[in-house]
Amino acid sequence: MSLLLDIGFAPLANGIHNWLFATFSNSTVALAAEMVVAGLSLLVFLVPLCFFLGYMERKVAAFMQMRLGPNRVGPAGSLQIVADTVKLLFKEGLTPNSSDKFLFNLAPLIVVITSMLVLAPIAFAKDFQLWDTSIGVLYVSSISSISVIGILMAGWSSNNKYSLLGAMRSGAQIVSYELSIGLSLISIVILTGSLRMSDIVMSQQNGWWIFKGHIPVIISFVIFIVASTAEINRAPFDMAEAEQELTAGFHTEYSGMKFAMFLLAEYINLFIVSAIAATLFLGGWMPFHIGHFEGFNHIMDFIPSSLWFMGKTFLIIFIIMWFRWTFPRLRVDQLLNLEWKYLLPISMVNILLVTVMAIMGWHF
């Protein structure tokens, strides 16, 4: 398949790689420099992305509630999130006297770093992937679960009853919903026979799994979206930071840039779960193809792979934002009942259906 208008990311990456190894005689130093460049590039991508997601969140909320949203700072309110960031930069970062200061300051770093690490195996476009590891799905599942440590650390170290209660709720919520997320991911692994992200994308060259995997894959997709929304603590599953009863939950005592780091991590996690859903169920950067309709498929190939990936990802982000401004917040017992009494049993039965479908070859 030749994407005629695709952006050539591979030559750029190979050029930087060759230049660094030619500049530094020591291969270990060159590899370390390459990792630094990759990390800085990721930051340059993520910060504007989070700015846009913050603006998009407010505009989607306004659209759902039939109002204007931000419309004062910048054209159509587009610079409102920039103004908020400047405000946070100049706010004093307070640390409570009775808190565990080391853990209090470390918690937001752990949450942000964990979120950034999960992006490594995700392919943003054709030939554009930080790390094509053979255990990509397992890596994403395991690294993403570490973020709960940062949240528990933030709640406990604040020495605040609201923060601690919010952190404990978050811990119970994340540990519970990870089960359904894991089973949803396994359904795609069973169908592709690989944990590698690039293999999963290439397996959808003749059709995305949400179409050729029939009803079981659609069920896995819906469960993944619902469970992921709960795992990243977004409404209607935001019991960890329920404003009406916990002030701000686990980050009640945080201010300034420490609070901004939690906000940054929230939007990075929103992008991550949407990107994973797009990769596993909607073909990732793969264009939309229909069987042997060569003319239609050829036209689809003209659209750059990066646009396919970002378009699918932002579609899912919109759906998750739609959830937030449509459904009321669940109680704690309702939240856990949804997972243990409904999503988990459905996921387990669905795994059996996917396994039978894969063995019998009933998918397209």
3-state secondary structure of 235: coil
**pLDDT on residue 39:** 83
What mean pLDDT do residues 209-221 have?
91
3-state secondary structure of 147: helix
3-state secondary structure of 128: strand
101 and 285 in contact (C-beta within 8 Å)? no
What mean pLDDT do residues 50-63 have?
92
pLDDT interval class at 364 (50, 70, 90):
low
Per the prediction, the chain carries an average pLDDT of 86
Domain ranges across the chain: 78-360
113 and 262 in contact (C-beta within 8 Å)? no
**311-323 residue pLDDT tens:** 999 999 999 999 8
**225-240 residue pLDDT tens:** 999 998 888 878 887 6
**255-283 residue pLDDT tens:** 888 888 888 898 999 999 999 999 999 99
**pLDDT on residue 4:** 36
**pLDDT on residue 6:** 45
**pLDDT on residue 270:** 93
pLDDT interval class at 296 (50, 70, 90):
confident
What mean pLDDT do residues 50-61 have?
92
What mean pLDDT do residues 300-328 have?
91
- Residue burial 247-275, b: 16+ Cβ < 10 Å; e: rest: ebbbbbbbeeebbbbbbbbbbbbbbbbbb
User: How many Cα atoms within 13 Å fall on the side-chain side of residue 296?
Assistant: 7
27 and 97 in contact (C-beta within 8 Å)? no
